[in-house]
Amino acid sequence: MTSDLETARLEVAAPPAGEVALRTIAMPADTNPNGDIFGGWLLSQMDIAGSVIAYERAGGRVATVAIDAMTFMQPVFVGDLVSCYASLENEGRTSMRIKVQTYARRRGGQNLVQVTEGMFTYVAIGDDRRSRALPAKSG
Protein backbone atom coordinates (compact mmCIF):
# COMPACT_ATOMS: atom_id res chain seq x y z
CA MET A 1 0.00 0.00 0.00
CA THR A 2 1.34 3.47 -0.90
CA SER A 3 1.26 6.44 1.43
CA ASP A 4 -0.27 9.79 0.43
CA LEU A 5 3.26 11.19 0.02
CA GLU A 6 4.26 8.36 -2.32
CA THR A 7 1.05 8.81 -4.31
CA ALA A 8 1.73 12.55 -4.67
CA ARG A 9 5.21 11.82 -6.00
CA LEU A 10 3.79 9.38 -8.55
CA GLU A 11 1.31 11.94 -9.89
CA VAL A 12 4.02 13.99 -11.63
CA ALA A 13 4.09 12.49 -15.12
CA ALA A 14 7.12 14.45 -16.31
CA PRO A 15 9.11 17.44 -15.11
CA PRO A 16 7.81 20.77 -16.39
CA ALA A 17 9.14 21.86 -19.78
CA GLY A 18 9.79 25.46 -20.71
CA GLU A 19 9.80 28.42 -18.39
CA VAL A 20 7.40 29.53 -15.69
CA ALA A 21 5.18 32.01 -17.49
CA LEU A 22 2.52 32.42 -14.80
CA ARG A 23 2.08 31.56 -11.14
CA THR A 24 -1.07 32.16 -9.10
CA ILE A 25 -3.12 30.75 -6.24
CA ALA A 26 -6.51 29.19 -6.92
CA MET A 27 -9.13 31.13 -4.94
CA PRO A 28 -12.68 30.35 -3.80
CA ALA A 29 -14.16 32.76 -6.38
CA ASP A 30 -12.72 30.51 -9.12
CA THR A 31 -14.73 27.40 -8.19
CA ASN A 32 -17.45 25.52 -10.03
CA PRO A 33 -20.67 24.36 -8.30
CA ASN A 34 -18.83 21.26 -7.00
CA GLY A 35 -16.24 23.35 -5.17
CA ASP A 36 -13.34 22.50 -7.49
CA ILE A 37 -11.57 25.12 -9.57
CA PHE A 38 -13.55 25.85 -12.75
CA GLY A 39 -11.89 24.49 -15.89
CA GLY A 40 -12.55 27.75 -17.74
CA TRP A 41 -10.52 29.67 -15.16
CA LEU A 42 -7.65 27.25 -15.58
CA LEU A 43 -7.87 27.51 -19.38
CA SER A 44 -7.71 31.30 -19.17
CA GLN A 45 -4.59 31.13 -16.97
CA MET A 46 -2.97 28.85 -19.53
CA ASP A 47 -3.87 31.24 -22.35
CA ILE A 48 -2.30 34.13 -20.46
CA ALA A 49 0.86 32.08 -19.82
CA GLY A 50 1.14 31.08 -23.47
CA SER A 51 0.60 34.65 -24.58
CA VAL A 52 3.54 35.81 -22.44
CA ILE A 53 5.91 33.59 -24.44
CA ALA A 54 4.20 34.48 -27.74
CA TYR A 55 4.35 38.22 -26.98
CA GLU A 56 8.07 38.00 -26.24
CA ARG A 57 8.79 36.08 -29.45
CA ALA A 58 6.57 38.35 -31.57
CA GLY A 59 8.01 41.50 -30.07
CA GLY A 60 4.52 42.82 -29.50
CA ARG A 61 0.83 42.14 -29.75
CA VAL A 62 -0.51 38.63 -30.37
CA ALA A 63 -3.92 37.01 -30.64
CA THR A 64 -4.96 33.50 -29.67
CA VAL A 65 -6.31 31.71 -32.74
CA ALA A 66 -6.54 28.07 -31.62
CA ILE A 67 -6.36 25.78 -28.63
CA ASP A 68 -5.51 22.21 -29.57
CA ALA A 69 -5.18 18.97 -27.61
CA MET A 70 -6.35 20.35 -24.28
CA THR A 71 -6.15 17.70 -21.55
CA PHE A 72 -7.37 17.99 -17.97
CA MET A 73 -5.48 15.41 -15.92
CA GLN A 74 -6.21 16.27 -12.28
CA PRO A 75 -8.53 18.69 -10.49
CA VAL A 76 -7.25 21.94 -9.04
CA PHE A 77 -8.39 22.83 -5.52
CA VAL A 78 -8.81 26.09 -3.65
CA GLY A 79 -5.46 27.07 -2.18
CA ASP A 80 -3.33 25.22 -4.74
CA LEU A 81 -0.34 27.12 -6.10
CA VAL A 82 -0.87 26.92 -9.86
CA SER A 83 2.17 27.27 -12.15
CA CYS A 84 1.99 27.36 -15.94
CA TYR A 85 5.12 26.40 -17.85
CA ALA A 86 5.24 27.44 -21.49
CA SER A 87 7.57 26.68 -24.36
CA LEU A 88 7.68 27.65 -28.03
CA GLU A 89 7.19 24.41 -29.96
CA ASN A 90 7.28 25.74 -33.53
CA GLU A 91 6.56 28.81 -35.57
CA GLY A 92 5.54 29.88 -39.04
CA ARG A 93 5.71 33.22 -40.77
CA THR A 94 3.11 34.89 -38.53
CA SER A 95 2.09 32.21 -36.02
CA MET A 96 3.54 30.30 -33.08
CA ARG A 97 2.49 27.10 -31.34
CA ILE A 98 3.10 27.27 -27.60
CA LYS A 99 2.89 24.20 -25.36
CA VAL A 100 1.53 25.01 -21.91
CA GLN A 101 1.80 22.56 -19.03
CA THR A 102 0.13 23.41 -15.75
CA TYR A 103 1.16 22.04 -12.38
CA ALA A 104 -0.35 22.47 -8.94
CA ARG A 105 1.39 22.39 -5.61
CA ARG A 106 -1.27 21.28 -3.17
CA ARG A 107 -1.80 23.45 -0.13
CA GLY A 108 0.72 22.43 2.51
CA GLY A 109 2.63 20.15 0.13
CA GLN A 110 5.86 20.42 -1.80
CA ASN A 111 5.27 18.04 -4.71
CA LEU A 112 4.04 19.21 -8.10
CA VAL A 113 1.07 17.49 -9.73
CA GLN A 114 0.52 18.01 -13.44
CA VAL A 115 -3.09 19.11 -13.85
CA THR A 116 -3.38 20.17 -17.51
CA GLU A 117 -1.57 20.37 -20.80
CA GLY A 118 -2.49 22.08 -24.03
CA MET A 119 -1.20 23.49 -27.29
CA PHE A 120 -2.05 27.11 -28.07
CA THR A 121 -1.58 28.90 -31.40
CA TYR A 122 -0.98 32.64 -31.44
CA VAL A 123 -0.60 35.02 -34.36
CA ALA A 124 1.48 38.19 -34.27
CA ILE A 125 -0.71 41.17 -35.09
CA GLY A 126 -0.02 44.81 -35.84
CA ASP A 127 -1.77 47.99 -34.78
CA ASP A 128 -4.30 47.37 -37.55
CA ARG A 129 -5.19 44.04 -35.86
CA ARG A 130 -4.08 42.10 -38.94
CA SER A 131 -1.46 39.38 -38.91
CA ARG A 132 2.14 40.44 -39.35
CA ALA A 133 5.39 38.56 -39.88
CA LEU A 134 7.34 37.51 -36.84
CA PRO A 135 10.60 39.43 -36.47
CA ALA A 136 13.84 37.66 -37.35
CA LYS A 137 15.22 35.66 -34.45
CA SER A 138 17.94 37.45 -32.53
CA GLY A 139 21.13 35.75 -31.43
Sheet containing 81-91, strands listed edge to edge, beginning at the edge strand earlier in sequence: 19-25, 81-91, 95-105, 112-124, 62-72
Asked if residue 86 is part of any domain, the answer here is: yes
Report the domain count for the chain. 1
- Residue 45 lies in domain: 4-124
User: Regarding predicted confidence, which is higher, 57 or 111?
Assistant: 57
Q: Count Cβ atoms within 10 A of the Cβ of residue 136 and give its class: 0-12 exposed, 13-18 middle, 19 or more buried.
A: exposed
Asked if residue 131 is part of any domain, the answer here is: no
Asked if residue 119 is part of any domain, the answer here is: yes
Asked if residue 139 is part of any domain, the answer here is: no
User: Regarding predicted confidence, which is higher, 19 or 109?
Assistant: 19
Query: For 59-74, what is each residue's pLDDT tens digit?
Result: 999 999 999 989 999 9
Phi, psi at residue 103, to the nearest 5°? -125, 150
pLDDT, position 7: 44
Rounded to two decimals, the pTM is: 0.86
Asked if residue 130 is part of any domain, the answer here is: no
Asked if residue 24 is part of any domain, the answer here is: yes
In this predicted structure, the answer to whether residue 8 has a pLDDT above a threshold of 90 is no
pLDDT, position 59: 96
Asked if residue 138 is part of any domain, the answer here is: no
Asked if residue 137 is part of any domain, the answer here is: no
- Give the CATH number for residue 71: 3.10.129.10
Instruction: Round to whole Å and give the CA distance between 82 and 75.
Output: 11
pLDDT, position 14: 67
Mean pLDDT of the chain, nearest integer: 89
